[in-house]
Copies of this chain bind each other. A is one copy, B any other.
Amino acid sequence: MQALIFDGTLKLIQNYPAPELRPGEAIIRPHVTGLCNTDIEITRGYMGFCGVLGHEFVGTVVACHDQSWIGRRVVGEINASCTTCPTCLRGDPTHCPNRTTLGIDRRDGVMAELFSLPIHCLHSVPSTVPDEAAVFAEPLAAALEIVEQSHIRPTERVAVVGDGKLGAMIVQVLRLTGCDLTLVGRHPERWSLYTEQGITCRHSQDITATDRFDVVVDCTGNPKGLATARQLLRPRGRLILKSTFEAASQINLTMLVIDEIQLIGSRCGPFAPALRLLERGLIATAPLISAEYPLRDGLQAFAAAHGQMKVLFRHPE
């Protein structure tokens, strides 16, 4: 089958072996897949991954031992957990030490004609949510992880640092809490969606030391953004880290103690509420799509993705 793979080099190949149907799993034919910054990081060596790229998808189940899944339109959680270890049984499957991760860690991803996932990772997509919105379920779930981990009060002042793809999901989720919300970014050309939604947008160059927030989310993916986020936080505030960096980064831990800051690492989140928000029409996705490519133009899409908002792949029917 056709697949976009990374094996030290990014390649489109035509004869990649199709996945075999394993017990408890489903074979899925993706309709639309999304390009995430993590995919780009992987092509720079992040996680040492080799195989089919991609983890954002919406598709149809085409094979499964449980016949009830066949033909369903699904999105899916990317962590294929074992379901039996103490971590899974504690209710933390996304941290299962035996997990593989779709297109990120020892499991072929979605940028191919077919791929496989355990059925416990799958969620049926409501019929009113089109493919081009459903493909945002994974990053939207990651944004919802913030409110799953931390109580964002409607009276709090919250800043999101980073106006990229993940920031777009985070801002739209936090907007729903009623909090006093500011987006801090470097791309004013992207802000009309947010200003229309009643969100304050500011350039990171215009931030002064007197602006202080109760909660700051860093989703810039670079150490400079983290420094801006830290500077914006009041004493006893919460700094939510959504960025993973291939490079090492440093933070002054003594100042963290003196200011009694809470640093909260935040990764994958819950899909069910993500689908509910999409179904309720509370999250704009169409304005975030920069470009759409057929899968066969994958190399071209990766080359052009830097600095873009969401790039989607349309898969062959």
A interface list, Cβ under 8 A from B: 87, 92, 95, 145, 149, 226, 234-236, 241-246, 248-254, 256-267
Q: Is the CB of A235 within 8 A of B266?
A: no
Q: List 9 A-B contacts (CB under 8 A).
A: A92-B235, A95-B235, A149-B260, A248-B250, A253-B265, A257-B265, A257-B266, A257-B267, A260-B266
Name the residue of chain B whose CB is nearest to the CB of A214: B90
6 nearest A-B pairs in the assembled complex, by CB-CB distance: A95-B235, A263-B263, A256-B265, A257-B265, A244-B254, A260-B265
The reply to whether A248 and B244 contact each other, CB–CB distance below 8 Å, is: no
Contact of A262 (CB < 8 Å), options: B226, B242, B264: B264
Distance, CA A234 to CA B265, complexed state (A) = 13
- Is A249 within 8 A of B253, CB to CB? yes
- Distance of A72 Cα from B280 Cα, bound (Å): 64
Instruction: Assess whether B253 is in contact with A259, with CB atoms less than 8 Å apart.
Output: no
Q: A251 touching B254 by the CB < 8 A rule? A: no
Q: A92-B236, A235-B87, A235-B95 are in contact. Are A241 and B265 (CB under 8 A)?
A: no
In the bound complex, CA of A51 to CA of B151 (Å): 42
In angstroms, Cα B256 to Cα A242, docked, is: 10
Minimum CB–CB distance for A225 against chain B, Å = 12
- With most chain B CB atoms within 10 A of its CB, the pick from A249, A264, A265 is A265
Across the interface, do A263 and B267 meet the contact criterion of CB distance under 8 Å? no
Measured CA separation A243–B255 after assembly (Å): 10
> Knowing A260-B265, A265-B258 touch, does A253 contact B226 (C-beta < 8 A)?
yes
Q: Which residues of B contact A149 (CB under 8 A)?
A: 260
